[in-house]
Structure 1
Amino acid sequence: MNLIALNCRNCGAPLQVPDDLKHVTCMHCGTQLAVVHEGGAAYTEKLDALAERTEQIEDKLDVLHREQKLAALDRQWDKEQEGFKIRRKDGSSHLPSKTGSIVGGVIGVGVGLFVMTIGIGTAGGRGPGGFFVLIGFLFMFVGVGTSLWQLHRAAAYEKAKRRYEHRRQQIRRG
């Protein structure tokens, strides 16, 4: 058995320990030490310092793990959000909102009523005026239908967004 000469990391007292030993207690001050072998050198390190460093590393790993979970959740939310977007004919898109759907419905009904008024004003709604009444009714029907569809999409989007924000808060709290 080969002995190696070391010094206590706490009090500096000389120590003679077997070269395969991993832990030792200083006989002078009672400090528990780890025997560290790096390359051809060996030294001692206080175990409480190792425990503290280990705890710091664990804390950093916990933070990195939470950040990784948040990043994955954010990527998933970005993809999910794309599915809620309403596409326009020009290729642009927007997220549905309750206000926008109500305004769109009011505009559709308003245009429909205006066109119907023109039709009724033209020969009492007979002949070509009847066509305007029909078109006005169609505008109103499409306006209300589109408004209801967008209201449904807006409600589903808001529910999904609340669920995403709740999951995000849970991850942040750990």
Structure 2
Amino acid sequence: MALTNPMKIVPLNCCQCSALLNASEEVRQVLCQHCGSQLAVLHEGSAAYTESREPKPMEVAIEQLLEESEQQRELAVLDRQWQKERRQYMVIVYDGTARVPSSSIANDTVITSFVGGLLFVFIAWLFSDNLLSFVGGCLLIGLFVVIGLGLSRLQHQRSAAYQEAERCYRRRRLDLIEKPEAFPSKGWG
């Protein structure tokens, strides 16, 4: 019994490590058993040779550097935007320093207003010689307490807005850090 179409074996060299490879004439791709490179088998006339199907290590390194550089640039832009936005929320305290708004400052304002109001009502009661001056003093003190409560409410709102803005910033930053590669793998298949 005669073979009708025997496979012709073509000797090839790996273009990455120069190892000798043997492949049938019909094969269009081969894996180098020596270095593990994926190779395309190209035919030009009676000659056959291999070409790498993977990016060269230097190309991969450059692509990674470009990706990291772009990511660092995007992070720097985002950080500068956040610093600018953050300044809008800052609260200047009594000693002239800027602080991040917090609920504790608002709570301190409520407590100070309430305790201060009670203290002033007591003082007004002690030093008033008639009911009209006592009531007038209490009204002024009540106005002081209402202003303090309003400022406290404003501080709570500012604190909540700051916390939401910070959450958005952190989410965007994390998305940039964890985003898929800008330069996907160039492997075939």
Q: TM-score, structure 1 length as denominator?
A: 0.68
| Counterpart selection for 1:80 from 51, 61, 85 | 85
- Indicate the larger mover: 108-117 or 119-128: 119-128
Tell me what 1:95 maps to.
100
- Tell me, which stretches of 5 or more residues in structure 2 are unaligned? 1-14, 19-41, 180-189
Give the number of aligned pairs: 141
Tell me what 1:132 maps to.
137
Extract structure 1 runs of 4+ deviating beyond 4 A: 8-11, 47-50
Distance between the aligned counterparts of 2:147 and 2:90, measured in 1? 20
Structure richer in helix, relative to its length? 1
Q: What is the one-letter code of the residue matched to 2:62?
A: I
Asked which structure has the greater RCO (Cα within 8 Å, sep 6+), the reply is: 2
Matches within 5 A, 1:1-174: 10-11=17-18, 30-32=49-51, 51-88=56-93, 91-123=96-128, 126-174=131-179
Deviations 1:41-78 (A, max 9, x none): xxxxxx57862221221111111111111111000000
Tell me what 1:36 maps to.
none
Distance between the aligned counterparts of 1:163 and 1:49, measured in 2? 39
CA-atom RMSD in angstroms:
2.9
Tell me what 2:21 maps to.
none
Find the residue that maps to 1:156 and give its secondary structure.
Answer: helix
The answer to whether the 8 Å contact 1:86/1:96 transfers is yes
Q: What is the one-letter code of the residue matched to 2:155?
A: Q
Deviations 1:12-42 (A, max 9, x none): xxxxxxxxxxxx99x999443xxxxxxxxxx
Tell me what 2:25 maps to.
none
Distance between the aligned counterparts of 1:56 and 1:48, measured in 2? 16
Q: What is the one-letter code of the residue matched to 2:123?
A: I
Distance between the aligned counterparts of 2:129 and 2:111, measured in 1? 25
- Tell me, which stretches of 5 or more residues in structure 1 are unaligned? 1-7, 12-23, 33-46
Q: TM-score, structure 2 length as denominator?
A: 0.63
Between the aligned residues of both structures, percent identity stands at 26
